[in-house]
């Protein structure tokens, strides 16, 4: 089960013209926005990635306007490669500052191929990662596989990921489920985090999915 204290959200490559080519792009953007807003309410740390933005363009404005200022500050240097092990005692963690401009730019399809992503994730010390973004069969798939190899619990938010074809999206989700990733939806994941209608943030979260 997803737990607020153990969880972070990674928003992957919802950029430029590529985002416009996604299957059901309107639902994709809507649900990624909901997840980001919910993460703010629940104080879930956010990691924001972009794939070669000089070629694909920046994150689409509807998403970027909610993400500005999500970088982790005070991240210790990482010498753990792609292990993605929890931060050790004395490491900086949960020291986010809300400053303008915060994407982690990468060339590798997996976010874990970018050392800055690994360092920031390690600094958070979280055991669960919610993944949303594009494309399901490339960057989401490879990131999820690397995160699971590193021992992390990964949930793919199926209605907040997409590909240029439904076949590729479906194939990736099927493969990820078989490999041990959890497949969820935006509403399912949020209510799983809340656990109860008596949660202090229930009245803020519920309208996001209605």
Residues with catalytic roles: 13, 106, 139
CB 132 within 8 A of CB 35: yes
CB 102 within 8 A of CB 70: yes
CB 4 within 8 A of CB 193: yes
- Cα-based distances in Å from 61 to 13, 16, 28, 150: 12, 9, 14, 32
Please state, in angstroms and rounded to a whole number, the distance separating the CA atoms of residues 185 and 14.
18
Query: For residue 72, which of 108, 111, 32, 116 has the smallest C-alpha distance?
Result: 116
């Amino acid at each position: 089960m997803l737990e607020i204290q153990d969880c972070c959200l990674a928003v992957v490559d919802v950029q430029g013209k590529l985002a416009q080519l996604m299957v059901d792009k309107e639902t994709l953007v809507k649900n990624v926005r909901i997840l980001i807003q919910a993460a703010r309410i629940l104080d879930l740390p956010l990691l924001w990635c972009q794939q070669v933005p000089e070629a694909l363009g920046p994150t689409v404005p509807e998403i970027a306007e909610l993400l500005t200022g999500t970088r982790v500050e005070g991240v210790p240097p990482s010498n753990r490669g792609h292990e993605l092990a929890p931060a050790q005692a004395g490491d900086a963690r949960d020291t986010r500052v809300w400053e303008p401009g915060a994407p982690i730019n990468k060339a590798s399809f997996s976010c874990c191929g970018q050392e800055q992503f690994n360092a920031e994730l390690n600094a958070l010390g979280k055991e669960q990662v919610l993944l949303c973004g594009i494309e399901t069969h490339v960057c989401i798939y490879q990131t999820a596989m690397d995160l699971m190899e590193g021992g992390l619990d990964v949930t793919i938010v199926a209605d907040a990921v997409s590909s240029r074809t439904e076949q590729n999206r479906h194939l990736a989700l099927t493969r990820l489920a078989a490999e041990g990733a959890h497949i969820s939806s935006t509403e399912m994941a949020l209510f799983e985090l809340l656990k109860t209608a008596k949660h202090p943030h229930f009245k803020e979260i519920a309208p996001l999915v209605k």
